[in-house]
Structure 1
Amino acid sequence: MSGVAGWKAVDPKWSAVDGLVEDVLLEDDAELAACIARSKEAGLPDIAVSPAQGRFLQMLVELTGATRVLEIGTLGGYSTLHLARGVGEGGSVVTLEARKTYAAVAQANFDASAAGGRVEMQIGAALKSLAKLEGPFDLTFIDADKPNNCNYVDHALRLSRPGALIIVDNVVREGNILDPAEDDESAKGTRALYHYVAAEPRLEATVLQTVGEKGWDGMMFLKVTD
């Protein structure tokens, strides 16, 4: 799960359990390992989902039968590749990335992956890209700048079919959402998302808290009901 350097605290046991999951349950994967390596070599921040969370996202796509997926926030493309694997050969993923430097790394990772041909990346401010997109999408994964969370969910709702799933990452933030500091725009934007979702009758929602190598955080799951 994405984090922000400087705010995540990690218990050694959390990381050890993640290591056990990866060693025992997740097979060695040269493509994904190369994706992580390229991102690290390029100096991208270490805020991508963990391997276990990436597999979780892939399985959610498979279990929901999603074939058209939207991702807001590409980074190096690690989560994107899991989503692309999940949609299968006939599916597609549209991913949005604002930074050209990140997009270049992600494209290299897509080009080197068997599932990379299922990905369409749009480069530029996500809100501008979203305004031009046409739905419907079966599943949306949001992992971008947190102050715009409400705007991103609003667009995702517009672009989703009834019954679609919207997932928002980093919605616990070490508990900082409980009483966001005045200068913590990410926590403030995330807390606002809770109230936005609660007031939106077309969404059913819950949050699962997580701990692991990425610290204490969580994902919000939104079902589009209408």
Structure 2
Amino acid sequence: MLFPLFFMLMFPVECLTDLIEPITGGVCGIMTPEQYSEDLYMEDEILSSVSLSIKESGLNDVSIAPGYGRLLTMLATVSKAGSILEIGALGGYSGVCLARGMKEGGRLISLELKEDNAALARRNLELAGFGRGTEYMVGPALDSLKQLESRGERFDFFLIDADKENYPVYLEYAIRLAKPGAIIAGDNTLLRGRTLNPDKNGPSVLAMRKFNDMIATDERLISTMLPAYDGLALAVVK
């Protein structure tokens, strides 16, 4: 029974609670990089209101992480995106982030499976001042993508943040619908660590591994992956 005593002596007393209780943040009072970032860049009133509306609607708030939301705004701004396609709206959090960076007079088309989610997202975009330039297409995203392709639509920026099993197909559509130099972002590429775990091989995990491999190796793209939060893949279409 010497091991538990030895283990306890390795750590200051004030750290033992962190080790015994479920870890929800940094160890021994030290912030995680994500927590440090969120402390520096506080969520503004509009985005906080969007998050609250999602929770009050009874939805599971799986919106893009605040730090990556800010990144979307920056990327849309520097790329001067005038046409943005969002695959997966939820309650409009990422939509607000994208619209903030969109060129004046631009348009955001958002694909959302559920009518209730689209209605909430639309309302939040309107409250944020972006109602006029936003269009929601409700139904299976693959059906909407086929419609957009048949219409000859082309986009400057894409966010893929919907059902994980179709990520590889969404990526292929994004490349086909992209203007030269378009940016493609894909959220949740790590799936809370399941992507990295060889013992996890469910449909979503296998699809995400395929997506990650595609975006990393496709010669039509210049890409990278950011490992913070739940992972974000980024690519530029050549």
Query: Which of the numbers 185, 191, 197 marks the counterpart of 1:167?
Result: 185
| Equivalent pair of 2:85/2:108 in contact (CA under 8 Å) | yes
1:111 positional shift: 2.4
| Equivalent pair of 1:180/1:188 in contact (CA under 8 Å) | no
1:77 aligns with 2:92: yes
Q: Which has the larger radius of gyration?
A: 2
1:148 aligns with 2:166: yes
1:137 aligns with 2:155: yes
| Equivalent pair of 1:89/1:118 in contact (CA under 8 Å) | no
1:24-58 CA distance string (max 9 Å, x none): 334x6332222111111001112101222211110
Name 1:181's counterpart in structure 2: 200
Which of the two has greater strand per residue? 1
1:145-168 CA distance string (max 9 Å, x none): 111011101110110011111111
* Structure 1 outlier segments of 4+, above 6 Å: none
Name 1:196's counterpart in structure 2: 214
1:23 positional shift: 4.3
Name 1:44's counterpart in structure 2: 59
Q: Identity of paired residues, percent?
A: 36
Query: Which of the numbers 53, 74, 93 marks the counterpart of 1:59?
Result: 74
Secondary structure of the residue aligned to 2:81 is coil
Q: Which runs of 5+ in 1 are unaligned?
A: 1-8, 212-216
TM-score normalised according to structure 1 size? 0.84
Q: Which runs of 5+ in 2 are unaligned?
A: 1-21
TM-score normalised according to structure 2 size? 0.80
Q: CA RMSD in A?
A: 2.2
What is the number of equivalent residue pairs in this alignment? 210
1:114 aligns with 2:132: no
| Equivalent pair of 2:82/2:104 in contact (CA under 8 Å) | no
Which of the two has greater helix per residue? 2
Q: Match for 1:149: what amino acid? A: Y
Name 2:232's counterpart in structure 1: 219
Query: Which of the numbers 123, 134, 138 marks the counterpart of 2:138?
Result: 123
Secondary structure of the residue aligned to 1:43 is coil
